[in-house]
């Protein structure tokens, strides 16, 4: 029986709580897993007796994925999430959400596109690992193939929470308490 893990949507009554959960669970998990997987790939490349198109493809897609996710975490924790938390505080304290409104809308849109690309890369890596030729990559290859599906599952939950719960909630706050609402 296939068990689908769904985000516990009803737990998130406040966007600020969801932001804290994403940082503590999903961003922390990426910080731990990505360097580990990168080291495994280095080991696989070192152990390879001859060049392999499959290994080169996995290395290339994983490097792109890791770069995308590193940028994702840096941008969210360095700029986007602090402003979302400030926005929530502002709405709560004054019923006003005007600050950074246009920048926030643009940032939410661009994050969605980057998330879709990251998911596509992660799926591509997982698909490549099903190639029978991957079994020739030895113990490090087996460890990598065992760890990637967990990274993909965590990433799906992480990006679902952001794209389908957090960001729509923030767009609603901007619509209800931003400049457009103030001009009505
Ligand atoms: Fe995130």
58 falls within a domain? yes
Residue 41 Cα to ligand 1 midpoint, Å, equals 24
- Residue 1 has what pLDDT? 38
pTM of the model: 0.86
Q: Is 155 exposed, middle or buried (0-12, 13-18, 19+ CB in 10 A)?
A: buried
90 falls within a domain? yes
Nearest CA to 161 among 4, 8, 5, 2? Answer: 8
145 falls within a domain? yes
Q: Is the pLDDT of residue 26 over 90?
A: yes
Tens-digit pLDDT profile for residues 40-99: 999 999 988 777 899 999 999 999 999 999 999 999 999 999 999 998 888 888 887 766
Token pair recorded at residue 30: 């990426």
9 falls within a domain? no
Residues near ligand 1 ion, CB 5 Å cutoff: 76
Sign of CA dihedral 93, 97, 99, 103: positive
19 falls within a domain? no
Lowest mean pLDDT, pick from 4-8, 19-23, 166-170: 4-8
Identify the domain containing residue 37 by its residue range: 30-182
Residue 76 Cα to ligand 1 midpoint, Å, equals 6
Top-confidence residue, 141 or 9 = 141
Nearest CA to 102 among 161, 159, 171? Answer: 171
Residue 37 Cα to ligand 1 midpoint, Å, equals 19
Q: Is the pLDDT of residue 142 over 90?
A: yes
Residue 116 Cα to ligand 1 midpoint, Å, equals 12
Residue 27 Cα to ligand 1 midpoint, Å, equals 6
- Residue 12 has what pLDDT? 66
Q: Is the pLDDT of residue 11 over 70?
A: no
140 falls within a domain? yes
50 falls within a domain? yes
Residue 14 Cα to ligand 1 midpoint, Å, equals 16
Residue 112 Cα to ligand 1 midpoint, Å, equals 10
- Whole-angstrom distance, CA of residue 145 vs CA of residue 129: 6
Q: Count of domains in the chain?
A: 1
- Residue 123 has what pLDDT? 97
Residue 12 Cα to ligand 1 midpoint, Å, equals 15
Residue 73 Cα to ligand 1 midpoint, Å, equals 6
71 falls within a domain? yes
């Amino acid at each position: 029986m296939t068990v689908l893990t769904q985000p516990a949507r009803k737990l998130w009554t406040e966007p600020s709580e969801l932001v804290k959960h994403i940082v503590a669970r999903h961003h922390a998990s990426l910080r731990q897993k990505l360097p580990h997987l990168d080291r495994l790939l280095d080991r696989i490349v070192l152990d390879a007796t001859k060049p392999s198109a499959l290994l080169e493809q996995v290395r290339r897609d994983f490097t792109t994925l890791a770069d995308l996710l590193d940028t994702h975490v840096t941008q969210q924790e360095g700029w986007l999430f602090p402003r979302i938390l400030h926005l929530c505080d502002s709405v709560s304290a004054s019923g006003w959400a005007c600050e950074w409104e246009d920048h926030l809308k643009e940032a939410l849109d661009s994050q969605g596109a980057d998330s879709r690309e990251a998911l596509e890369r992660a799926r591509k890596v997982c698909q490549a690992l099903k190639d029978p030729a991957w079994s020739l990559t030895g113990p490090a290859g087996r460890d990598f193939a065992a760890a990637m599906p967990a990274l993909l599952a965590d990433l799906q939950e992480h990006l679902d929470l952001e794209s389908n719960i957090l960001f729509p909630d923030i767009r609603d706050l901007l619509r209800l308490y931003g400049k457009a609402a103030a001009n009505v």
